[in-house]
Structure 1
Amino acid sequence: MDFLSTKPLSLLYLTLVFLTGFAFFPSIKTASDYFTLAYKGCAKQTFSDPNGVYSQTLSALFTSLISQSSKTKFFKTTSGQAQTTISGLFQCRGDLSNVDCYTCISKLPEISNRLCGKSVAARVQLLGCSIRYEIVGYQQISGFDLLFKTCSSSRATVNGFEQWRDSAFSAMENGVVSGNGFYTTSYESVYVLAQCEGDLSTGDCSQCVKTAVQKAQVECGSSISGRIYLHKCYISYSYYPNGVPRKSSSGTGGNTGKTIAVVVGGAAGVGFVVICLMFGRSLMKKRDDF
């Protein structure tokens, strides 16, 4: 009788400890850095806007770009009339979901206004998306001009790193054409990514990426990571000594923590019901025994 009366209580205690362990077990999350600022470029010249016409036109342009970002990853349009015309575009990384693209682009108007103010032309690049605008008549630059570069201060010490990186670059140069302007791959422990502007021709995209690769080889040397932004394309690479980690596609990886929380929560709920039933059954049995 003692054994029968104490066993359910012991089981209850152990199960509660088990579920409490789940409660404090760290949830698996995939931190997204898509919304991190990569760089900004603001024209030194600003527009005079006593009547607020340019500001209204720019605001209308941003609204149009944001509205399209939930449907496509690249869009180009104009706003305004005659001398107040402003052209602009946005682009999201090719592997972003429509939801993440919209979220990313929605952040850019405020960032652009804060960083560039009333510049006649501006470009703001986050790691996951970018936005660009210029007023009518603004002088364009070459599509292959270097806008920004960043190279890690850490240097690779392993023999063969540059060969691995260049092999990854070569595969990327070929893949970005067949990948419709966006491509990621890895070779050995080097992960690479390339993206061309959405309206770039296949030939120009290929040449732009090749130019960016050459600049990365010269500018970054043996740096374990780097990003090269040209006017019409950009590339990035990263070396992972312990192997390239699996990268979840946007829209799935970000929900991993929520999914696990639901599963654990459901399991905890079921477990609690089972415990209550067992405890109630134990009490009934004890009453029968007496």
Structure 2
Amino acid sequence: MTLNYKILLFLALCICNAESADPLGQFCNTGSGSQISANIDRLLAELVSKTPSYGFIATSYGRNPYQVFGLAQCRGDVSSTDCSSCIQDAAKQIRQRCPNQADARIWYDYCFLRYSTKNFTGEIDTYNGILYGNVETVTDPDTFNKELETLFDQIRAQAVETRNEGLGKGKTKLSTFVTLYALVQCTRDLALVDCAQCLAIAAGNFEKFCKDRKGCRVLYSSCYVRYELYPFFFPLIFKPNRTLADTVMAILP
């Protein structure tokens, strides 16, 4: 897959945070009939009830031709309480925002939820995604990009270790007062080699769309990558007062 995307750029003017019921974005496709819609509701109920226990579930409901496949996953560093709250919001919002679609997905900071009449389990999906980039740029891009590349190599290596279940996170000091934080995660249905490939594609957007920016996140259906100059993953040293108002958003078709 190439990175020659046609993208739509605009300022993200919403004021929201990770705990908000407002998602980072959603994708809706393919109409559904009444039987499929009923199966989606039953599938979502299962995703909501079972995801918090393990942070992940991939399952299905119904039989052909009305079978629906679903996946839900929380970010690997969040608590089961935050996971549960996020998945509940996701299940509610995806039905409101994609009311008549049988192929839908929704992204939050703390979780991701998806369903489709196609069995997508175990497949890399980087065809639809969302990118947020900080509007500010770093003052020493050469040093910053070198440190960012080194840190991402480290956390990608973490993510493809079986025991880490697709999650990698870390930080590195850029100066006395500045620290770079980064996190990557794949959905747990991916094989490790596919996880590595997905993360490489996602991080490839940094050079093209987030070059020299102070922060960037790329959200695909199969993986997620993010870096910031403030702590955003748990355990937090302090809770930053950040919003999406200082970011530029891109749709990655």
TM range (shorter): 0.7 to 0.9
1:162 aligned residue (145, 151, 159): 145
Give every structure 1 segment of 4 or more consecutive aligned residues whose post-TM-superposition deviation is greater than 2 Å.
Answer: 140-146, 245-250
2:165 maps to 180
Cα deviations by residue, 1:184-234 (Å, 9 ceiling, x for unpaired): 101222111000011111111112112211222222101111111233111
Task: Find the structure with the greater CA-based Rg.
Answer: 1
Equivalents in 1 of 2:238, 2:31: separation in Å?
41
Residue equivalent to 1:150: 132
What is the CA deviation profile of residues 155-200 of structure 1, one whole-angstrom value per residue up to 9, with x for unaligned ones? 1123522222222212122121222201110122211100001111
Gaps of 5+ in 1: 1-30, 255-290
CA distance in 2, matches of 1:209, 1:91: 16
1:37 is the counterpart of 2:23: yes
Deviations 1:111-151 (A, max 9, x none): 0011111112000111000110012489x985343522121
Segments of structure 2 that go 5 or more residues without pairing to the other structure are 1-15, 174-178, 240-253
Distance of aligned partners of 1:37 and 1:248 in 2 relative to their CA distance in 1, 3 Å threshold: same
Which structure has more RCO (C-alpha within 8 Å, separation ≥ 6)?
A: 2
Q: Match of 1:84, SS?
A: coil
Scaled by the length of structure 1, what TM-score is found? 0.67
- Alpha-carbon RMSD across the aligned residues, in angstroms, is 2.6
Kept in 2: contact 1:34–1:129 (CA 8 A): no
CA distance in 1: counterparts of 2:159 and 2:169, whole angstroms = 8
User: In percent, how many aligned pairs have the same letter?
Assistant: 23
Partner residue of 2:82? 100
**C-alpha distance in 2, partners of 1:246/1:236?**
9
TM-score (norm 2): 0.76
Task: Return the structure number with greater helix share.
Answer: 1
- Does residue 200 (structure 1) correspond to residue 182 (structure 2)? The answer is no
How far did 1:63 drift?
A: 0.7
Bigger share in strand: 2
What one-letter code is carried by the residue in structure 2 that aligns with 1:161? F
Alpha-carbon distance in structure 2 between the residues aligned to 1:246 and 1:144:
24
How far apart in 2 are the matches of 1:207 and 1:236? 16
| Distance in 2 (alpha carbons) for counterparts of 1:77 and 1:137 | 10
With over 3 angstroms needed to count, the CA separation of the structure-2 counterparts of 1:141 and 1:177, relative to structure 1, is closer
1:1-290 to 2 correspondence within 5 Å?
A: 33-35=18-20, 37-43=23-29, 45-49=30-34, 53-136=35-118, 142-159=124-141, 160-178=143-161, 179-188=164-173, 189-240=179-230, 245=231, 248-249=234-235
What amino acid sits opposite 1:129 in the alignment? C
Q: Which amino acid in structure 2 is aligned with residue 132 of structure 1?
A: R
The residue identity in structure 2 corresponding to 1:169 is F
Tell me by how many angstroms 1:70 deviates.
2.8
Of the structure 1 ranges 208-217 and 108-117, higher mean CA displacement relative to structure 2 is found in: 208-217
Cα drift, residue 87 of structure 1: 0.7
1:181/1:197 contact within 8 Å kept? yes
